[in-house]
Structure 1
Amino acid sequence: MSFLAALALFGAQEAPAPDRSQDMAWQSQQMLALAKLNGADGWHSTPEGLRWRRVKGDGTGKHPTVADTVTLHYAGTFIDGTKFDSSYDRGEPATFPLGMLIKGWQVAVPLMGVGDTFEVAIPADLGYGFKGKGPIPGGATLLFKIELLGVPAAG
């Protein structure tokens, strides 16, 4: 099971990240990373505060709902480029019930059609919050490349 699924479904088993809740400079960096994407090349914002852009595809494939299970490839990094999880590195896509994942994915993935690849920037309140979870520090802005491969039929 992937790190993302483990965090979403079972909670973190890894050592906790440092507490950054009182580190105002670090928190400011997280917010600045999001602000820089406003109006940047191809980037869009949702009412919830998620930033996204389509890097592949045309949005015409089947769009999942939060109630669907999805199959996808993804890579997750912090704003400094440090990778914390990647299905690409494992060499196999992941399949998740979308409704069990962080709110940012529940907002982003339904915007995608099968075959699309998005880059998304997820603010802390749509990610792991201000307490964090496992190696994800509280207040962290999360960057993902997500490639939607399929929406398997319920069965």
Structure 2
Amino acid sequence: MKLRTSAAAAALALAAALTLTACADDSGDGATPSASASSSPATEMPEPTKEDVAALESVKVEGDAGKEPKLSFKAPLEVSVPTSRVLDEGDGAEVAEGAQVTIDSVAYLGTDGTAQGSTWQQKAPMSFILGDANYGVLTEPLKGQKVGARLLVANPVQGQDGTTATMVNLVEITDTQKIPTRAEGEAVEPAEGLPTVTLDDAGKPSVEIPEGYEAPKELVTQTLIKGDGAKVTEDQTVTAQYTGWTLDGEQFDSSWDRGAPSSFSLQQVVAGWTQGLAGQTVGSQVLLVIPPDLAYGAQEGHELQKETLVFVVDILDAK
């Protein structure tokens, strides 16, 4: 996944160190959430070995809570499976699966002990839904912890060249809150001739493409539900439920099917997402019809390179 700024690249590197698979993706300039999302819910993590636990216990942490710490250890440090260790118990609200959690984190490469990224330096804490498959490695370690807790999390990360290295992260929980599971607001009558969206009882959308519908040459943005929250800006990270289809009605991605909303920066998605969601309000549901040049058109060999994409997005939060 090629990003647009060095700050965004650092943020993504840090996020990748905390994902379930942490596999690199060099698919182009920007991506829809499908570029890094698993199509199925997170699976149960394997148990760490005694050697994994001992490796993480060897990490020395210097620095007080609330500030960026310094990690030191004898390199190379390796674990075979995701491994965690609680450093400090928190005394704030308890973190529950399905709630939004906000963390600060710093990452070090186990191979040589070099720092790889820090939300403290970026002044940009990471927020996501606990249980989101994109952050599956954090689900069990953070569940039941309280705000203020600090944990070490080590994770084997596979690079683009097929080699695997361990990333060592210190994670500090700074906030948690419940957010809606679907868009809530005033229904908006869509323009005629657009794909028809139907919601099931839980709010999961399905779409019907009208017969003879012609692929638009420009981005189509249609608000379906108008939320009463703050306006989203293009520099924010949004938490959303979404489903994506090609213009023949074939679904290729859905956060609903993964069992949890996803969080992503509007600086790390295709231009159609950035342009279509910026200016919308939190709580809204938005239909996007994105032509290839605002999606994957420039990404040679991408399976969706020539496709016009249809999305229904429920904007649940923005930070």
TM bucket normalised to smaller: 0.5 to 0.7
Q: Deviations over 1:45-103 (max 9, x none)?
A: xxxx2101111125x42112121111001000001110000001111000001101000
Q: Which has the higher helix share?
A: 1
The alpha carbon displacement at 1:8 in A equals: 6.6
Q: Deviations over 1:26-61 (max 9, x none)?
A: xxxxx92327xxxxxxxxxxxxx2101111125x42
1:7 to 2:175 alignment: no
Q: Report the equivalent of 1:56.
A: 225
Whole-Å separation in 1 of the counterparts to 2:282 and 2:262: 14
SS in 2 for 1:114: coil
| AA of the residue aligned to 1:114 | V
Cα pair 2:32 2:273 within 8 Å, conserved: no
Alignment of 1:84-103 (within 5 A): 84-103=252-271
SS in 2 for 1:107: helix
SS in 1 for 2:215: helix
| Larger radius of gyration between Structure 1 and Structure 2 | 2
Which residue, 269, 280, 288 being the options, matches 1:112? 280
SS in 1 for 2:216: helix
Identical residues among aligned pairs (%)? 31
Name the structure, 1 or 2, with higher relative contact order (CA <8 Å, separation 6+): 1
Q: Report the equivalent of 2:50.
A: none
Q: Which TM-score applies when normalising by structure 1?
A: 0.66
Q: Report the equivalent of 2:214.
A: 32
List alignment gaps of at least 5 residues for structure 1. 14-30, 36-48
List alignment gaps of at least 5 residues for structure 2. 1-18, 21-30, 38-159, 161-212
Whole-Å separation in 1 of the counterparts to 2:214 and 2:298: 16
Whole-Å separation in 2 of the counterparts to 1:132 and 1:85: 20
| AA of the residue aligned to 1:64 | V
Whole-Å separation in 2 of the counterparts to 1:111 and 1:80: 28
Distance 1:55 1:5, change over 3 A: closer
RMSD: 2.8
How many pairs align?
A: 117
